[in-house]
Structure 1
């Protein structure tokens, strides 16, 4: 009989939040932060309990980090665009 190990739920959450942080504008910044926190928590839990899901947690960390960078660039681009286009006239 083969014993199945459980996949860590925080690793699944971190990957989900990471993917959503890339796809959803503005809110994705907060989802990315949640994904990074869940990923770090999952890695700590996996080390203690020997559950599966280390790859999911690592992927979630990478996707969340990429999502945060994309969202920050988008927000900075938005601010830069409107600060230049609404400058003083005349």
Structure 2
């Protein structure tokens, strides 16, 4: 028998910050209609950046989730700003 270096999937940890960033990013796009997308988006952006930093420094998975969370959070922030401007213009006119 030979000694093979076998790594098990249970040893590789899934980063929870990356998953939180993705969930918050999606939630920020949904709540952008109600004006809460900026707050949720900023929190999601912070979690995404921290998760991405953790994934790059350690042996964890979730880099794609972190990047998707960052993108969704930015979209949620931009949608909230756009909807706020549209509602403001509609109220003024």
TM > 0.5? yes
Give the equivalent residue in structure 2 for 1:87. none
SS state of the match for residue 61, structure 2?
Answer: coil
Give the equivalent residue in structure 2 for 1:41. 50
Unaligned runs of 5+ in 2: 1-5
TM-score, with structure 1 as normaliser: 0.87
TM-score, with structure 2 as normaliser: 0.84
Higher strand share: 2
Unaligned runs of 5+ in 1: 85-90
Aligned pair partner of 2:8 in 3, 6, 9: 3
Give the equivalent residue in structure 2 for 1:50. 59
Tell me, in whole angstroms, the C-alpha distance in 2 between the residues paired with 1:3 and 1:28. Answer: 39
Number of residues of Structure 1 aligned to a counterpart in Structure 2: 84
- Measured after TM superposition, the shift of residue 50 of structure 1 is 1.9
Alignment of 1:1-90 (within 5 A): 2-4=7-9, 5-24=12-31, 25-84=34-93
What is the root-mean-square deviation of aligned Cα atoms in Å? 1.1
Q: Which contiguous aligned blocks of 4+ residues in structure 1 show a shift greater than 2 angstroms?
A: none
Tell me, in whole angstroms, the C-alpha distance in 2 between the residues paired with 1:23 and 1:44. Answer: 26
